[in-house]
């Protein structure tokens, strides 16, 4: 996306949850990228579209309720609007909640007259029997008002038209002013802000009364909410959905993973033919090292993510997730955090890196940090295969009952990691991240039917491909290193085995052994690699024997397997996650904390287990 | 008619009240302002969480969940 000198800059503002991103995505398509506002940690998405021969750069400013400059997001938005950077500001409003949205509109109008108001989600308003007189609204606000249903693309062309006309100075505007220009205010800053805030709210109420008719009642929504937040029904549905998503992800990913492995195997064969005449060490390094590792990471990571993230995004867009946060808030409040951490925690089951990014929904910085630091305590998709493989190999018999026992054990492990998250959150909030739980006010958006097709495409692009890209970028060099240390021999044995031997005493203390510990270290690029690293170290990666036999043959006992599973749950985050923590916190110190916290938990737990079991 | 002033947290599900005083200071106070909760606003209690907190209120057309400890600092007349 290149900005040309003649492009116009359009700022996009609005409350959270009004469909601002939908408008942004519809207008800019794939022609967008995200970056930081210079010098700040607020991420802004910029995109470009062309309309009737002109180029427009659309800047998606953070969702905010007001411009009083109390938070970083508000400051950035207010600055942007007031600066000469924006040629036009588009304020996106939710038609089902117009009165509250007008608060922001009025504040924007106080700063600039080049505004186009976009009243979105008109279809939802219609369903709620809310009628908005858009022309009356336009009259009262003094700036153009366009009604849209961004999800269907309705009204967007008219919006582009108004923006164009505005940039050309073709629309006379007389924006309504809320704050009286005359007279001075006596009182301190706090009271002044209060006074101003109330002015805006009252004006918004006035205008809303003149333009909106209808009750906005939707009985089926109230009924659904009753079920989803009920004492028994709510919890039951939540657990069922969680189990369901897990099961779907794990089961559904099996076949695609195998296909991908077959595909990559075939491709690898072709590559080796191509590299026939290359020096052997080079072709082996590239094929068995770089290519094989990257191929494995991708084939194991891609299918579960491609299932998990779209489902998660669908639940998110539908509006279900805030209800989960609502149900769990009390428990998290007791740990010094808030219900929204439940959501980033759930994301973490898909991928810890995505979970860390998901912590952005937690407004309070202190609680956000707690959520970020504890996210790695829940197992991501990459760790499930190891857990399942070890459970099946060491703890369960065959047959129907076996499958059920395995599921129960897995659930038990998941519950353990959730409990650990609560415990660690509690400790953090009392020690490193001490402070009062702050300003919790969570809006519960009305239920909306998500556009399934669009959601799938969006989540695949934004989350899956992005995370996968990062993972592949790390897997390639990692594969190189792994090949080197397993094939370079020093005094008879490979470097890999030397390392394993060196780490053996530590490993044994933790109920495992040097090989396992080395495998975990080598699994830093991606947790999916750990099991194959173990097999590699045992020179058994191509063995046809069942896993249980291979491992028992190498001296494993069920205690070893148990400690390995515990360490799998609680050890350092994978490289992608560490990178993401650094990007989100901007601090090396906290990133280190993010690495040490789960590791410490794992070390203590395994040592304890080892002590008790021996 | 005598009007009773009670804490917002004491509203029963379905009950409505008009805000009289807000005792919070600082960021919570501003948060509530952002959501349109000022003196004179009509608020309706929609749903109380099974654990007792938070509680969903209808504020100017939107559904907002507030923790009981914060709702205790808001006084309304019913």
Residue A541 or A301, more confident:
A301
Residue A183 has pLDDT above 70, yes or no: no
Residues in chain B: 78
Write the CA distances from B14 to A96, A569, B45, B48, integer angstroms.
20, 44, 5, 10
Residue B48, pLDDT score: 92
Residue A594 or A42, more confident:
A594
Mean pLDDT throughout B42-50? 92
Chain A residues close to B14, C-beta within 8 Å: none
Per-residue pLDDT band for A34 (boundaries 50, 70, 90) equals low
> What is the interface pTM, i.e. ipTM, of the complex?
0.92
Contact status of B67 with chain A (Cβ, < 8 Å) = yes
Residue A565 has pLDDT above 90, yes or no: yes
Per-residue pLDDT band for B43 (boundaries 50, 70, 90) equals very high
Identify whether the C-beta of residue B25 lies closer than 8 Å to the C-beta of residue B31.
no
Residue A12 has pLDDT above 90, yes or no: yes
Mean pLDDT throughout A339-350? 87
Residue A292 has pLDDT above 90, yes or no: no
Quote the tokens at residue A287: 């094929």
Residue A40 has pLDDT above 60, yes or no: no
Instruction: Kindly identify which residue of chain A lies nearest to residue B68, measuring between CA atoms.
Output: A330
> Given the DSSP bridges, would you call strands A131-132 and A489-490 parallel, antiparallel or unpaired?
unpaired
Residue A11, pLDDT score: 92
**Nearest to residue A334, comparing CAs of A415, A425, A418, A234?**
A425
CA–CA distance, A338 with B30 (Å, rounded to integer): 19
Mean pLDDT throughout A61-82? 82
Mean pLDDT throughout A48-60? 89
Least Cα separation, residue A204 to chain B (angstroms): 10
A450-481 residue pLDDT tens: 878 877 887 777 777 777 787 778 788 888 88
Chain B residues close to A99, C-beta within 8 Å: 36, 60-61
Report the percent of chain A where pLDDT is more than 90.
21
pTM of the model: 0.82
Residue A251, pLDDT score: 78
Q: At what angle do helices A588-613 and A558-569 cross, to 10 degrees?
A: 160
- A-B C-beta contacts closer than 8 Å: 108
Contact status of A100 with chain B (Cβ, < 8 Å) = yes
- Chain A from 423 to 442: CB within 8 A of any B CB: 438-442
Per-residue pLDDT band for A16 (boundaries 50, 70, 90) equals confident
Residue A36, pLDDT score: 53
Contact status of A327 with chain B (Cβ, < 8 Å) = yes
Per-residue pLDDT band for A187 (boundaries 50, 70, 90) equals confident
Alpha carbon A379 to chain centroid distance? 15
Mean pLDDT score across all residues of chain A: 84
Residue A381, pLDDT score: 82
Residue A522 has pLDDT above 60, yes or no: yes
Residue B61 or A117, more confident:
A117
Q: Is A336 left (phi over 0), alpha (psi -120 to 50) or beta?
A: left
Identify whether the C-beta of residue A7 lies closer than 8 Å to the C-beta of residue A57.
yes
Report the percent of chain A where pLDDT is more than 70.
93
A90-119 residue pLDDT tens: 999 999 889 999 999 999 998 888 999 999
Answer whether B64 sits within 8 Å of A442, measured CB to CB: yes
Range with the largest mean pLDDT of A81-90, A252-261, A456-465, B52-61 = B52-61
Per-residue pLDDT band for A567 (boundaries 50, 70, 90) equals very high
Residue A264 has pLDDT above 60, yes or no: yes
Burial readout A432-461 (b: 16 or more C-beta within 10 A, e: otherwise): ebeeebebbbbbbbbbbebeeeebbebbbe
Mean pLDDT throughout A141-153? 89
Residue A35 or A150, more confident:
A150
Q: How far apart are the first and last CA of chain B?
A: 11
Chain A residues close to B9, C-beta within 8 Å: none
**Nearest to residue A597, comparing CAs of A373, A413, A421, A345?**
A373
């Amino acid at each position: 996306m290149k900005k040309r000198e003649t492009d116009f800059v359009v700022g996009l503002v609005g409350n959270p949850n009004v469909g601002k991103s939908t408008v942004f995505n519809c207008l800019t398509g794939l022609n967008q990228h995200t970056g930081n506002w210079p010098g700040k940690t607020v991420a802004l998405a910029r995109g470009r579209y062309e309309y009737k021969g002109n180029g427009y750069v659309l800047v998606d400013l953070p969702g905010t309720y007001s411009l009083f400059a109390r938070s970083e997001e508000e400051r950035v938005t207010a600055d942007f609007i007031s600066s000469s950077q924006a040629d036009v500001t588009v304020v996106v409003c939710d038609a089902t909640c117009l009165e509250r949205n007008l608060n922001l509109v009025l504040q924007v109008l106080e700063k600039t007259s080049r505004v186009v108001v976009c009243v979105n989600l008109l279809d939802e308003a219609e369903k709620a029997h809310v009628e908005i007189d858009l022309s009356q609204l336009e009259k009262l606000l003094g700036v153009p008002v366009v009604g849209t249903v961004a999800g269907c693309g309705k009204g967007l062309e008219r919006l582009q038209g108004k923006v164009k006309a505005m940039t050309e100075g073709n629309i006379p505007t007389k924006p309504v002013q809320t704050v009286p220009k005359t007279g001075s205010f006596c009182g301190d800053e706090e009271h002044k802000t209060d006074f101003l805030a109330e002015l805006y709210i009252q004006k918004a109420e006035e205008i809303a009364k003149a333009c909106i008719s209808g009750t906005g009642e939707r009985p089926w929504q109230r009924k659904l909410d009753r079920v989803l937040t009920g004492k028994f029904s709510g919890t039951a549905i939540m657990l069922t959905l969680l189990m369901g998503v897990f099961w779907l992800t794990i089961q559904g990913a099996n076949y695609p993973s195998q296909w991908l492995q077959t595909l990559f195997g075939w491709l690898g064969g072709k590559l080796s033919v191509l590299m026939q005449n290359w020096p052997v060490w080079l072709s082996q390094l590239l094929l068995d090292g770089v290519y094989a590792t990257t191929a494995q990471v991708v084939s194991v990571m891609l299918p579960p993510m491609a299932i998990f993230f779209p489902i998660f995004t669908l639940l998110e867009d539908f509006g279900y997730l805030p209800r989960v946060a609502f149900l769990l808030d009390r428990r998290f409040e007791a740990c010094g955090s808030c219900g929204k951490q439940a959501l980033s925690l759930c994301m973490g089951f898909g991928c810890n890196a995505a979970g860390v990014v998901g912590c952005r929904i937690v407004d309070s910085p202190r609680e956000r940090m707690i959520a970020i630091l504890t996210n790695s305590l829940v197992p991501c998709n990459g760790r499930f295969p190891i857990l399942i493989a070890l459970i099946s190999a060491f703890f369960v018999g065959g047959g129907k009952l076996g499958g059920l026992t395995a599921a129960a054990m897995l659930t038990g492990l998941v519950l353990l990691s959730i409990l650990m998250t609560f415990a660690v959150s509690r400790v953090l909030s009392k020690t490193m991240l001490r402070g009062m739980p702050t300003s919790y006010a969570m809006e519960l958006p009305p239920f909306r039917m998500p556009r399934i097709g669009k959601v799938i495409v969006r989540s695949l692009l934004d989350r899956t491909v992005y995370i996968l890209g990062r993972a592949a970028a790390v897997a390639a060099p990692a594969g190189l290193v792994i090949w080197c240390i397993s094939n370079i021999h020093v005094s008879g044995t490979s470097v890999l085995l030397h390392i394993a031997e060196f780490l053996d005493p530590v490993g044994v203390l933790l109920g495992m052994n040097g090989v396992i510990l080395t495998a975990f270290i080598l699994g830093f690029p991606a947790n999916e690699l750990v099991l194959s690293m173990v097999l590699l170290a045992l020179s058994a990666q191509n063995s046809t024997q069942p896993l249980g036999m291979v491992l028992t043959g190498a001296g494993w006992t069920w205690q070893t397997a148990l400690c390995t599973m515990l360490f799998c749950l609680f050890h350092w985050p994978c490289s992608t996650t560490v990178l993401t923590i650094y990007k989100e916190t901007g601090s090396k110190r906290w990133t280190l904390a993010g690495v040490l916290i789960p590791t410490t938990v794992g070390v203590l737990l395994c040592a304890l287990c080892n002590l008790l079991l021996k | 008619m005598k009007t009773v002033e009670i804490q917002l947290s004491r509203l029963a599900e379905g009950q409505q009240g008009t805000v009289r005083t807000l005792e919070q200071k600082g960021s919570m106070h501003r948060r509530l302002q952002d959501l349109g909760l000022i003196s004179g606003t009509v608020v309706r209690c929609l749903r109380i969480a099974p654990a007792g907190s938070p509680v969903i209120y209808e504020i100017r057309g939107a559904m907002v969940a507030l923790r009981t400890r914060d709702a205790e600092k808001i006084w309304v007349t019913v």
